[in-house]
């Protein structure tokens, strides 16, 4: 029995997810766990550094900015827009050639990344002054030291994310989805065991350890899939490498624009009162839960299938898969956004409500989260829209629209903070305005490129899902207000959690009921998926073995 259980568990890790939603569901479950652990590590950090040393927490968050920037520009730019689509095509034709192309990309980009990291390590003091000119000497010294430590974590991430690309191109999603979980576990261990000894530096060492775990958990599967690393492969003349470089350039520029936006956000918050960097990050973390859980996961799972449709020159299949992914994302993310909007104060208190976290800070974080609402929905579907362009080998359109969006966001954010004095809420409001505009333009241009999506399908799905969500919002608000005023003492954590559970279950029940009444197509897909999960043993027994004998 034990042996059968082990074999079943092994099969779960080593089997292919070929359907977009089944692949996405695998990622979603792992992402949900990762987000929960992410909230736990933030709560632990809040408990240790609020209220007496919140400035150190501000500096800690700011220290991620430049290391994250070079990683996203050089690695994520290649993976999301270029590596996976091109590598997938070569994988279909010739595995050995695909592996040589992958090795060349890994070698060349790792070298460039290493050189950039060395430059950033040397000039960390100047970069710290650049991003936080309002900081005094003590804060600048700490920011410099933490930035240098974070660079070591990015080295591990550089290699690890290429492994993710290789695994996902083979349509295996579970192990890459588990990598962020062990990353968060590494940070949590650093907070628990090292922060009492090393202070804020202990959390940074935890980040490095977590990044190493992120790499190590993926390495065995890459080897089992038969990937052969060629350390002598530096063939930048290869057509595959040239295609990746060609597709990567616009995406890297788009990410550069986005990184400027993120850097400006940190820059602006450093001018506000102490703790503003942390509070804005807290609101962003809650905002990113629906985006990461649904938008990014379905987008990741959809890209290989969309790319395959394009490779087969089957535009109708592409449009069908795209709309399926788009509205499935919308169907899942809208109710979660409604929950965060209506129950924002309970959500903030449950996530961060430790002893040192003041009520005024709870209200400010909750207000910022509410102003992020439109951005949550739009940024989720933008994940699908952008990958729709990538599958068509079009990275220029998202680049231009991203550039316009970022420039607009920077202008609005600066006005809202310095002229209207709206604080971190101004940054969130600006992000929502810009996200709505960007989503509309991306959908318009993609519609033109594919010569029109099914208009009836679009209008019908938008209308039904929107009506169900609006009604759900009402049934979230009413029980929340009633229980808060007349039944429960929400100053107690247990009763606050009870209120949140009751209101959430009530709203969710109404949403699902209306899904049945309105015959929302996406609901049927979710029901089908839940039923399949209930038969996971049977599915594992029938599904295709993914580990082939690659030595033949």
- Cβ proximity of 109 and 165 under 8 Å: no
The conformation of residue 173, written as its DSSP 8-state character, comes to -
Give the relative orientation of helices 315-342 and 359-371 as an angle to the nearest 10 degrees: 150
- Cβ proximity of 525 and 20 under 8 Å: no
Closest residue by Cα to residue 425 from 435, 416, 436, 438 = 416
| Distance from C-alpha of 346 to C-alpha of 366, rounded to nearest angstrom | 9
- Cβ proximity of 355 and 52 under 8 Å: no
Q: Which residues lie across from 545 on neighbouring strands?
A: 15
| Distance from C-alpha of 353 to C-alpha of 360, rounded to nearest angstrom | 11
Closest residue by Cα to residue 342 from 489, 447, 479 = 479
H/E segment holding residue 123: none
In the numeric block, which tokens belong to residue 290?
Answer: 């629906």
For the chain, what are the domain ranges?
Answer: 13-453, 454-546
State how far the alpha carbon of 215 is from the alpha carbons of 220, 232, 422, 430, in Å. Answer: 10, 22, 41, 36
Q: Which residues lie across from 231 on neighbouring strands?
A: none
3-state secondary structure of 545: strand
Q: Which residues, other chains included, contact 131 with Cβ-Cβ below 8 Å and sequence gap of 6+? A: 62, 65, 66, 143, 263, 266, 267, 270
What pLDDT is attached to residue 414?
96
Cβ-count burial of 229 within 10 angstroms (0-12 exposed, 13-18 middle, 19+ buried)? Answer: middle
- Cβ proximity of 282 and 365 under 8 Å: yes
pLDDT tens digit at each of 552 positions of the chain: 434 434 444 454 555 545 555 555 666 678 789 989 999 999 999 999 998 899 999 999 999 999 999 888 888 766 756 788 788 888 888 888 999 999 998 999 889 999 999 999 999 999 999 999 999 999 999 999 999 999 999 999 999 988 988 888 887 877 888 899 999 999 999 999 999 999 999 999 999 999 999 999 999 999 999 898 888 889 888 898 888 888 787 767 777 887 888 999 999 999 999 999 999 999 999 999 999 888 887 887 787 789 888 888 899 999 999 999 999 999 999 999 999 999 999 999 999 998 889 999 999 999 999 999 999 999 999 999 999 998 998 878 988 898 899 999 999 999 999 999 999 999 999 999 999 999 999 999 999 999 999 899 899 999 999 999 999 999 999 999 999 999 998 888 899 999 999 999 999 999 999 999 999 988 987 777 666 555 544 443 343 333 222 223
Q: Is 506 left (phi over 0), alpha (psi -120 to 50) or beta?
A: alpha
Task: Find out whether the peptide bond into 51 is cis, omega within 30 degrees of 0.
Answer: yes
What pLDDT is attached to residue 390?
85
Q: Where are the alpha helices (DSSP H) in 94-136?
A: 95-122, 124-131
Q: Where are the alpha helices (DSSP H) in 392-423?
A: 396-414
- Cβ proximity of 313 and 392 under 8 Å: no
What pLDDT is attached to residue 173?
74
| Distance from C-alpha of 328 to C-alpha of 521, rounded to nearest angstrom | 9
State the pTM of this model: 0.88
What pLDDT is attached to residue 174?
79
DSSP calls for 374-396: HHHHHHHHHHHHHHHHHHTT--H
In the numeric block, which tokens belong to residue 140?
Answer: 């600048």
- Cβ proximity of 432 and 373 under 8 Å: yes
């Amino acid at each position: 029995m034990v042996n059968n259980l082990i074999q079943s568990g092994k099969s779960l890790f080593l089997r292919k997810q070929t359907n977009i939603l089944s692949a996405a569901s695998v990622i979603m479950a792992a992402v949900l766990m990762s987000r929960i652990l992410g909230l736990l590590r933030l709560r632990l950090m809040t408990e240790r550094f609020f209220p007496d040393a919140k400035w150190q927490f501000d500096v800690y968050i700011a220290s991620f900015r430049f290391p994250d920037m070079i990683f996203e520009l050089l690695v994520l730019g290649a993976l999301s827009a270029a590596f996976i689509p091109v590598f997938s095509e070569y994988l279909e034709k010739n595995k050995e050639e695909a592996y040589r192309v992958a090795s060349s990309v890994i070698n060349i980009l790792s070298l460039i990344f290493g050189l950039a990291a060395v430059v950033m390590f040397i000039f960390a003091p100047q970069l710290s002054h650049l991003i936080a000119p309002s900081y005094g000497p003590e804060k600048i010294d700490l920011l410099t030291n933490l930035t240098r430590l974070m660079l070591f974590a990015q080295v591990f991430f550089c290699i690890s994310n290429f492994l993710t690309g290789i695994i996902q191109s083979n349509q295996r999603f579970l192990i890459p989805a588990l990598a962020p979980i062990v990353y968060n576990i590494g940070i949590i261990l650093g907070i628990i065991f090292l922060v009492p000894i090393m202070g804020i530096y202990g959390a940074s060492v935890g980040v490095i350890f977590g990044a190493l775990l992120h790499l190590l958990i993926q390495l065995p599967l890459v080897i089992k899939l038969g990937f052969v690393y060629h350390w002598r492969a530096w063939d930048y003349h290869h057509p595959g490498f040239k295609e990746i470089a060609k597709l990567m350039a616009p995406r890297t520029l788009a990410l550069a624009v986005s990184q400027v936006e993120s850097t400006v956000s940190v820059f602006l918050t450093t001018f506000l009162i102490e703790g503003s960097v942390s509070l804005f990050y807290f609101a962003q973390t809650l905002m990113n839960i629906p985006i990461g859980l649904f938008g990014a996961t379905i987008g990741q799972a959809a890209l290989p299938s969309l790319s395959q449709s394009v490779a087969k020159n089957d535009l109708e299949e592409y449009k069908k898969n795209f709309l399926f992914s788009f509205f499935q994302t919308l169907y899942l993310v809208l109710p979660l956004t409604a929950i965060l909007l209506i129950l924002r104060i309970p959500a903030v208190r449950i996530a961060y409500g430790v002893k040192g976290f003041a009520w005024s800070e709870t209200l400010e974080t909750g207000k910022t989260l509410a102003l992020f609402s439109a951005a949550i929905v739009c940024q989720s579907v933008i994940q699908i829209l952008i990958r729709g362009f990538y599958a068509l080998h079009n990275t220029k359109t998202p680049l231009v629209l991203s550039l316009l969006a970022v420039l607009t966001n920077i202008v609005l954010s600066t006005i809202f903070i310095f002229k209207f004095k709206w604080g971190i809420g101004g940054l969130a409001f600006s992000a929502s305005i810009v996200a709505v505009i960007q989503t509309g333009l991306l959908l318009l241009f993609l519609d033109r490129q594919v010569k029109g999506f099914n208009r009836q399908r679009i209008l019908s799905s938008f209308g039904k899902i929107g009506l169900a969500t609006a009604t759900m919002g009402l049934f979230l608000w009413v029980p929340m207000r009633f229980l808060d005023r007349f039944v429960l003492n929400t100053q107690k954590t247990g009763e606050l959690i009870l209120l949140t559970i009751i209101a959430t279950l009530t709203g969710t029940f109404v949403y699902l009921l209306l899904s049945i009444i309105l015959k929302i197509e996406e609901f049927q897909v979710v029901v089908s998926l839940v039923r399949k999960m209930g038969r996971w043993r049977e599915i594992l027994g029938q599904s295709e073995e993914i580990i082939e004998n690659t030595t033949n």
